[in-house]
A and B are shown apart, each in its own frame.
Chain A
Amino acid sequence: MSDSTLESVRGALIAALQGIVLVALAPLLNGLIRKVKARLQRRIGPPLLQHYRDVAKLFRKESIRPSPASWIFDAAPIVSFATASVAAALTPAICALPATGQGDVVTVIYLLALGRFFVILAGLDAASSFGGLGSSRDAAVSVFAEPVAMLSLAVVAAALRTTTDVSGISLASTDAAVASGTSLGLLAPWRLLAALAFFIVVLAECARVPFDNPATHLELTMVHEAMLLEYSGPSLALVTLASLAKQLVLLSIVASGFFPVGVATSLQPAALLVAGAVFVAKLAGLAVLIAIVESAIAKVRFLRVPDYLGVAFGIALLAYVAREAF
């Protein structure tokens, strides 16, 4: 085998490994968010590993299909799980290799959109009003979230004078941070603002407070859960895993895409270990942040969701301007 073939095989293996690890860790991350949130509210809360138990149990349970459903209803959990796993393999996380390259972050967003397209359709497939309600709301949220996500990624690429490639962003950040200190540094205003805008998008995309309440099945307030209302058994397990994986993927874009500190640039075991520890620490920090946000603010009325995302758009635009000014 030639060198370049070897390199790309190695890259593919690393990506696959990263995908498996991230999907496996996704329930734990959400467990952590729930635990911290519970402690903030002076509850004990469910055990950290509760999601694993839930999923394992769901896989053993019987499946029930609504009578009007078509093959879309069966396909949606599978497609959303598959797209979330591939996104997990391609998202910036622990290492960034210049040569093999996992591709770019924009593709990750597009992949997640494909999964969501199917889940929204599945909501309409069961012919119940709840599914339609959830689908309609989820579609509306995604419409306003997507531009902000793209713009904040564009800010990073533009500020670092690189592309939206995972490796490009990481390498430019580390080099630049070392070379010039402040203006391209990890705490530069544009970076903080862009990350904040993207973080608001993550809250919207992952159906978290203030956009949606992940803990409720109250019809007036739910968005994401309403789409999944008809699912049961293994299908429910798959969509649940998919949405947890999506949350981890988006948070790791915040952690390693916007703040690629500690990302390994070689495949030395020691470097990978350090990078892994830093990555876990960053994710834990984000989990605590989400828990604090969810405890501090209330879910807004659905029609005010665009206001929040409008503010996020303003922040991203400010980040673009700040990139020139500071």
Chain B
Amino acid sequence: MSALLRRAWARGAVVSSAILQVIALAVAGTDGAFCLAGYDAPPIGIAHVGATRIPGMGLDPLGAVVAFALALIGIPIAIYTPAYLAGRHGGLSGPVQQALLPLLLGTILAVVTAQNALVLLVGWELMTAFATFLVLADGHQDEVRRAAILYVVMSHVGTLLGMVAVLIIASGSPVLSFDSLDFESLRILGRDMGAGTRAAVLVLALVGFGTKAGIVPLHVWLPEAHPAAPSHISALLSGVIVKCGIYVVARVALDLARPVPFWFGIVLLGVGLSSALLGVLYALMEHDLKRLLAFHTVENVGIIFMGIGLGVALSQTRGLESVASLALAAGLFHIINHAVFKALLFLCAGSVHATIHDRNLEEMGGLLRKMPWTGTCFLVGALAISGMPPLNGFASEWSLLQALIASAQSSEGWIRRLAPLLVAGLALTGALAAACFVKAFGIPFLGLPRSEHARHAREVSLGPRAAQALLALACFVLGVLSPLALMLCARGGEPLGILPYLTFDSPFIISGSKIATTSPFVLAAAVTAISLAVAIATRGSRARARVAEPWVCGLERVQPRMQYTASAFTKAIRLVFRNLFRPSREVEPAEGTPPYYVRRWRTQGMILPVFERYLYDPLVSAVRRIAALMDGWASPSTEVGLFLTLVAFCVALWWAL
């Protein structure tokens, strides 16, 4: 009896905490939306109650974009979590996870509403800490612990660099106090920085906070941490926490260290394009569903940085203000869009994992018929991330592509030189993403089940289904209303002086000077109308359709093993990019078969992880060598070590005098 009572109590606590979470996020989302729309703040917001402002905090359009994205995915996640946690076994208990979740959400909000560098950095560190705890939910598994440690170490090295960047700006001030770290005073200090100092600040901020954002080559933690975490945490990691990295880079570049030099825009464009292309290429080769999604986060972060970079670079060219505004708006809008569809995809991946206990695409198949809701929602997410009209991914990708096309008319030579490569690069990224998501949906959800688990897959319960449906709906609504959303996101550029130049004739048509016209709403209406008409006209023949075995060269029945696998599907692309992937294959007789008459073969294909092999492995071994060298000098006892620390501290204090 008491066990039953305890379980009911735990369940009640989880559910009521989820409800409170929904309410709090609804408040935050309203505050963000009001801020973007330029209305007066609602009575209760993230950083204020009535007229009382929390010191060191406040919401402006740039932060409101991320806060809005958080609310948009946080609410479905809160609906998803109770049932998802109840179905998980082992690791951190459901109530503890549910208790940590609001802390994580709160620290994220603190980061995006901070108006003071100290608040920002403290919020940032707490965010990393809580995120790590939640990534460690399955900490009894070695690989999860390794992933969490990688995440923490990379995050901290990044934070250190970022902190240096902030302190360099603040070093112009005679005193170092809470007030002198206020954004208001940092802005004034930032204006007087020399070109060299400014460059140092920008580069340190990009490398430091960009680590959290997962730009190539600092992305290696993403594909480790995302699969290790429970799915709703992966959704938050990818959807918002990674965006916080982008947010802080943008905050430094667009706001604190402005006027931002032209070359930094070009750097952002380069970083963005390489992240986008390498992210999607590695995603294509991935068979672990959650690792695949994590690599796509790298891709989309790249797209966002391309938008911001183009906005920065064009903001200094006369005559292309509207294009700069569109580029920046597209980048910021993509922050929201990517949060929504990536959260959707991660939640669906979590639902699949919960029922078949596997993340390997090659073990799935035919899931759409077993899990129609999850499958259909995953399809919506796949279409959105591939940039298919009329969904939200299309709107931001199209806008960025248009801005890139228009930038070819810039008077700035470097933009003109890079424009064709950027246009083709973005188009290639989009096409590769579409190919990847054809694979990521088609292999697991279509065809025949490839394993026993997949054969017995079952649809998830009502809560997760509702959460997925909400996010799928959000993909659609954000797509159809994208002109309005772009208009609001364009306000994020105000600090840089990129005023919203987009013309706003109707909430359904994207248009502007030097920008082509499109209307996701009209596309949606026309395609839906024709589809419905055709579907109704041909419904008779579908109803009478005869069911037969597919053609398999005269064999009696189709077998699951005859289907294309995920690795077979991408073989052509793997071969074309073989210089990057360095694919290799081992074929050997399976264990236990006689060597002269082999009945079963075992094949293993792999690609070379270039960055791990040629960048991180040498780095790690160099650190190890240095550590081994220093081992000889290390103090014999703790006391001496502590004494040396004290001496170092005193020297530092003396130096500071």
Real binding pair = yes
Taken residue by residue from 422 to 436, chain B's Cβ proximity to chain A (1 for < 8 Å, 0 otherwise) reads as 011111101110110
CB pair B516–A79 under 8 Å, yes or no, is: no
Tell me if B105 is interfacial: C-beta within 8 Å of chain A: no
CB pair B408–A103 under 8 Å, yes or no, is: no
Taking CB atoms, residues of chain B closer than 8 Å to A144 are: 431, 576
- Min CB distance A242 to B, Å, is 10
Q: Give the contacting residue for A89; candidates B441, B526, B542, B545; CB below 8 A.
A: B526
CB pair A317–B550 under 8 Å, yes or no, is: no
Taking CB atoms, residues of chain A closer than 8 Å to B448 are: 68, 127
Of A49-57, A104-112, A260-268, the one touching chain B = A104-112
Taken residue by residue from 398 to 410, chain B's Cβ proximity to chain A (1 for < 8 Å, 0 otherwise) reads as 1001101110110
A137 to B570, CA, bound (A): 9
Task: Identify the interface centre among A143, A151, A313: most chain B CB within 10 Å of its CB.
Answer: A143
Tell me if A39 is interfacial: C-beta within 8 Å of chain B: no
Decide if the interface of chain A is mainly helix, strand, loop or mixed.
Answer: helix
Tell me if A126 is interfacial: C-beta within 8 Å of chain B: yes
Question: Given that A128-B562, A135-B442 are contacting pairs, would A103 and B550 also be in contact in the complex, using a CB cutoff of 8 Å?
Answer: no
CB pair A63–B548 under 8 Å, yes or no, is: no
Taking CB atoms, residues of chain B closer than 8 Å to A136 are: 564, 568-572
- Min CB distance A320 to B, Å, is 5
Tell me if A229 is interfacial: C-beta within 8 Å of chain B: yes
CB pair B388–A164 under 8 Å, yes or no, is: no
CB pair B541–A150 under 8 Å, yes or no, is: no
- Min CB distance A57 to B, Å, is 13
Task: Identify the interface centre among B423, B428, B534, B535: most chain A CB within 10 Å of its CB.
Answer: B423
Question: Given that A110-B398, A143-B573, A302-B572 are contacting pairs, would A154 and B419 also be in contact in the complex, using a CB cutoff of 8 Å?
Answer: yes
Tell me if B538 is interfacial: C-beta within 8 Å of chain A: yes
Tell me if A74 is interfacial: C-beta within 8 Å of chain B: yes
CB pair A154–B405 under 8 Å, yes or no, is: yes
Q: Which of A111-156 contact B (CB under 8 A)?
A: 111, 113-114, 117, 120-121, 124-133, 135-137, 139-140, 142-151, 153-155
A81 to B529, CA, bound (A): 12
CB pair B569–A130 under 8 Å, yes or no, is: no
Tell me if B544 is interfacial: C-beta within 8 Å of chain A: yes
Tell me if B558 is interfacial: C-beta within 8 Å of chain A: yes
CB pair B368–A72 under 8 Å, yes or no, is: yes
Tell me if B13 is interfacial: C-beta within 8 Å of chain A: no
A131 to B571, CA, bound (A): 15
CB pair A147–B431 under 8 Å, yes or no, is: yes
Tell me if B515 is interfacial: C-beta within 8 Å of chain A: yes
Q: Select from chain A the residue with minimum beta-carbon distance to B509.
A: A103
Question: Given that A151-B424, A302-B572 are contacting pairs, would A234 and B446 also be in contact in the complex, using a CB cutoff of 8 Å?
Answer: no
A125 to B444, CA, bound (A): 10
CB pair A68–B564 under 8 Å, yes or no, is: no
Tell me if B386 is interfacial: C-beta within 8 Å of chain A: yes
Q: Which of A47-86 contact B (CB under 8 A)?
A: 62-68, 70-72, 74, 78-79, 81-83, 85-86
Tell me if A6 is interfacial: C-beta within 8 Å of chain B: no
Q: Give the contacting residue for A110; candidates B388, B526, B576; CB below 8 A.
A: B388
Taking CB atoms, residues of chain B closer than 8 Å to A82 are: 526-528, 530-531, 534
Q: How large is the interface on A (under 10, 10 to 19, 20 to 34, 35 or more residues)?
A: 35 or more
Q: Give the contacting residue for B428; candidates A86, A146, A157; CB below 8 A.
A: A146
Q: Select from chain A the residue with minimum beta-carbon distance to B569.
A: A136
Tell me if A45 is interfacial: C-beta within 8 Å of chain B: no
Tell me if A163 is interfacial: C-beta within 8 Å of chain B: yes
Question: Given that A106-B516, A154-B420, A168-B516 are contacting pairs, would A127 and B558 also be in contact in the complex, using a CB cutoff of 8 Å?
Answer: yes
- Min CB distance A70 to B, Å, is 4
A125 to B402, CA, bound (A): 34
- Min CB distance A47 to B, Å, is 26
A238 to B542, CA, bound (A): 13
A149 to B428, CA, bound (A): 10
Task: Identify the interface centre among B389, B408, B424, B576: most chain A CB within 10 Å of its CB.
Answer: B424
Taking CB atoms, residues of chain B closer than 8 Å to A44 are: none
Tell me if A215 is interfacial: C-beta within 8 Å of chain B: no
Tell me if B551 is interfacial: C-beta within 8 Å of chain A: yes
Taking CB atoms, residues of chain B closer than 8 Å to A139 are: 434-435, 438-439, 569, 573
A143 to B401, CA, bound (A): 16
Tell me if B187 is interfacial: C-beta within 8 Å of chain A: no
CB pair A107–B518 under 8 Å, yes or no, is: yes
Question: Given that A66-B549, A89-B526, A114-B389 are contacting pairs, would A233 and B401 also be in contact in the complex, using a CB cutoff of 8 Å?
Answer: no
Question: Given that A121-B441, A136-B572, A163-B515 are contacting pairs, would A230 and B551 also be in contact in the complex, using a CB cutoff of 8 Å?
Answer: yes
Q: Select from chain A the residue with minimum beta-carbon distance to B284.
A: A143
Taking CB atoms, residues of chain A closer than 8 Å to B420 are: 151, 154-155, 316-317, 320
Tell me if B451 is interfacial: C-beta within 8 Å of chain A: no
CB pair B446–A70 under 8 Å, yes or no, is: yes
Q: Which of A213-248 contact B (CB under 8 A)?
A: 229-230, 233-235, 238
Taking CB atoms, residues of chain B closer than 8 Å to A164 are: 402, 405, 516
- Chain B positions near chain A (C-beta within 8 angstroms): 365-366, 368-369, 375, 379, 383, 386-389, 394, 398, 401-402, 404-406, 408-409, 416, 419-420, 423-428, 430-432, 434-435, 438-439, 441-443, 445-448, 514-519, 522-523, 526-528, 530-531, 534-535, 538, 541-542, 544-552, 558, 560, 562-564, 568-573, 575-576
Closest 10 CB pairs of A and B: A132-B564, A104-B516, A158-B408, A140-B572, A146-B431, A66-B550, A150-B427, A124-B442, A63-B545, A82-B530
- Chain A positions near chain B (C-beta within 8 angstroms): 62-68, 70-72, 74, 78-79, 81-83, 85-86, 89, 101, 103-104, 106-107, 110-111, 113-114, 117, 120-121, 124-133, 135-137, 139-140, 142-151, 153-155, 157-158, 161, 163-165, 168, 229-230, 233-235, 238, 302-303, 306, 313, 316-317, 320, 324
Query: A111-B389, A131-B564, A146-B430 known; 6 other A-B pairs, CB under 8 Å?
Result: A67-B550, A70-B375, A110-B394, A127-B563, A139-B569, A143-B435
20 contacts between A and B (CB under 8 A): A65-B547, A66-B548, A67-B549, A70-B369, A70-B375, A72-B379, A78-B535, A81-B530, A82-B526, A82-B531, A86-B523, A117-B383, A127-B558, A131-B550, A131-B564, A132-B563, A136-B569, A143-B435, A146-B431, A306-B576
